[in-house]
Amino acid sequence: MDQKQDEILKKDRAELLQAQAELWCHTFGYLKSIALRCAVELGIPNAIHRNGGSASLPELLGTLPLAANKRSCLPRLMRFLVSFGIFKEDISREGTTTTTTTSVYQLTPVSRLLVDGIGMNSNTEHTCQSTYVLVCVSQLQVGASLCLGNWLTSSDENTPFGMAHGMDFWDFTGHDAEYSMLFNKGMASDSHFVVNIVIHECAEVFVGVRSLVDVGGGNGAMAKAIADAFPHIKCYVLDLPHVIHGTPTDGIVEFVAGDMMHFVPSADVVLLKFVLHDWSDEDCVRILTRCKQAITNKEEGGKVIIIDTVIGSPSQQILEAQLSMDICMMTLTTGKEREERDWHKIFLEAGFTRYKIMPILGVRALIEVYP
């Protein structure tokens, strides 16, 4: 074998070994989600925050609810979480003459989102996303995703979630009170996160608006924040009876029980926050048609405001998040994440004339749609 052939073989072997490493990263990628959920369940972000924003390994061991025979596992978990950016690790030397070192862990922008009661800045409300993580990395959703391969080769009209659990996602949330409560709490935390940015970054979309109905608005977190920021707007929330049942009323927001497929209360603005991605194109046209009928001042700026994904971000990380959510929708619902051309098509079919997309929400965008 000559030197050139030997170099080619070495390069091929190096590429194979690199490919195997990448394959392992993809194969075990699900463990990132599991480790993230574990960090939330243990309360690691809160523990670091309570310790002034950084905590050594002994300090974490002194506060986390670990079994005595599992304490040695914490450094391994933390090393893994640090490796993909959930926490930051600094190595601190103890004393001036010793070589003993200890790890000190700090929050990153990602893990700050998992701390109870932290806002994005001093002017924003609670934006903790821990419950959202617990919903998305629940046994119910992870179990459903394991059915994706069987579902794709089956003529069954059910979703992978339905295949795994015997009923579709919405029926399940309606029947399982514990999961429904967790799901609604997770969606409310997401609403707090989004509405803070909307209010501060594009308040102009609410200029001249006298009334707004938040369709599928759950416990009213989004509508209440809008009503607080813009007291001149009368806000309503439409959702299914089991969702709004028992929701405390404070006079700021009025709750209406109903099905958006059949009825949407009249208002200047109809808001759909992370709703349409749950539904097929045909259902979206049906929902948007109801919304169009509900707009009261069509000649004076009445509109539908949609907060949802528009696939195609120039950021690779945001694009990956968008595509990941698309597979999540394939697993749980009949919906999907859409490119602009998909949105354009359903807007036209629902009878709307024009729209404007504002890509100000990272993974999602704010879309104004006019009749």
Helix (H, G, I), strand (E, B) or coil at 126: coil
Q: What is the pLDDT of residue 121?
A: 45
Q: Which amino acid is at 65?
A: P
User: Which is nearest to 214 in space by CA: 206, 224, 202, 204?
Assistant: 224
The CB density around residue 93, as the number of other CB atoms within 10 Å, is 11
The CATH architecture that domain 3-112 belongs to is Orthogonal Bundle (1.10)
Work out the burial of residue 147: count CB atoms within 10 Å of its CB; fewer than 13 is exposed, 13-18 middle, 19 or more buried. Answer: buried
Domain boundaries, the chain: 3-112, 199-370
Instruction: Count other C-beta atoms under 10 Å from residue 226's C-beta.
Output: 24
Of 315, 330, 325, 327, whose CA–CA distance to 362 is shortest?
A: 315
Taking the C-alpha atoms of residue 68 and residue 48, their distance in angstroms, rounded to an integer, is 20
Per-residue tokens: 40: 């939330």
- Alpha carbon 4 to chain centroid, angstroms: 52
- The 10 Å CB-count burial string (b at 16+, else e) for 335-353 is bbbbeeeebeebbeebebe
Strand partners, 90: 104
Q: CA-to-CA distance for 61 and 313, rounded, in angstroms?
A: 41
What is the spatial distance between Cα 197 and Cα 360, in angstroms, rounded to a whole number?
Answer: 8
Cα within 13 Å of Cα(154), Cβ side: 12
Domain 3-112 identical in fold to domain 199-370: no
Other CB atoms within 10 Å distance of the CB of residue 202: 15
CB 55 within 8 A of CB 82: no
Give the Cα separation of 306 and 261 in Å (integer).
Answer: 16
pLDDT at res. 122 = 38
What's the pLDDT score for residue 3?
74
d(CA 207, CA 184): 29
pLDDT of residue 93: 62
The active-site residue, picked from 49, 165, 192, 277, is 277
Fold of 199-370: Rossmann fold (3.40.50)
pLDDT at 100: 67
Residues 99 and 90: their CA atoms lie apart, in Å, by: 15
Q: Does 277 qualify as catalytic in the annotation?
A: yes
Measured at the alpha carbon of residue 191, what is the angle toward residues 189 and 196, in degrees to the nearest 5? Answer: 105
**So what's the pLDDT on residue 97?**
53
Mean pLDDT by 10 residues, the chain (371 residues): 74 90 95 97 96 94 95 96 95 62 91 79 61 94 95 92 94 90 89 88 89 92 91 93 78 90 94 96 96 86 94 95 96 96 97 93 95 91
Instruction: Say what the pLDDT of residue 1 is.
Output: 60
How far is CA 193 from each of CA 120, 133, 186, 217, rounded to the nearest angstrom? 8, 14, 11, 14
**What's the pLDDT at 98?**
53
Q: What's the rounded Cα separation, in Å, for the pair 235 and 223?
A: 6
Residue type, 317: Q
